[in-house]
Amino acid sequence: VSEYEESISPELQEIINKKIETGKSRIPEKYIDFTDTKVSFACKKNGTILEPIENGLLYCYLPTSATWGFPFLLNSDMIPKGDRDDIETEVKLTDEINFNSEISKIAGSKFFDWIKDLLTSKEFEVRSVFSLIPNFDTCKKEHSEYYDDFIFEFRNSFENKLWEHKFIPVQNDIVNIKKIIFDKTGLSEIGIISDEA
């Protein structure tokens, strides 16, 4: 399990506080003066191989029955429904801001950090680390449109960092994905290029 923390912007914190103070919000009072949020990820490990979890569940510190089809477990400060069988979709802070969507954005950003940390640790087979990156189009297609906004925010946040930051290990360095040459020859698929290279 890997855990990451992110500060909540003062502007968002103020909006959350005001929403809770109205008494008409689904946001629990424990979120008053909510300054930091934590996101954690987990998958199976078999030696140096990381193994995906089929339809990993979403946790809000306790498990829910919700899944976005991601190949890992995701734990965050998203707000679950009262019976914990799902997460709330309508936790509006303003007409434009949904609480759980904001947490999804943060989770996507931290997912990038997790993948980068796994890759640069050199403890795990690179291919197995990449197996943890969801096929977002499939996730969206195979799961309720109820989750579309959350998957979109997670993906968008992850991909923004993917294009902006270095995270691909090469020999004694890490590079931005834009520096990687796409292999159309198939050489990388026949063992000439491998984790040992």
Nearest CA to 134 among 71, 52, 66? Answer: 71
Q: What is the pLDDT of residue 182?
A: 55
Instruction: Tell me the pLDDT band of 181, cut-offs 50, 70 and 90.
Output: low
Angle at alpha carbon of residue 12, lines to 6 and 14, rounded to 5°: 125
Average pLDDT over residues 143-156: 90
pTM: 0.85
The mean pLDDT value for 146-168 works out to 90
Q: Does the structure show a pLDDT above 70 at 76?
A: yes
Query: What is the pLDDT of the chain when averaged over all its residues?
Result: 87
pLDDT of residue 67 exceeding 50: yes
Nearest to 75 by CA among 26, 2, 179: 2
Bin 133: left if φ > 0, else alpha if -120 < ψ < 50, else beta.
Answer: beta
Give residue 193's pLDDT band: very low, low, confident or very high (50, 70, 90): very low
The answer, yes or no, to whether residue 186 has pLDDT greater than 60, is no
Residue 59: count other Cβ atoms within 10 Å of its Cβ.
Answer: 18
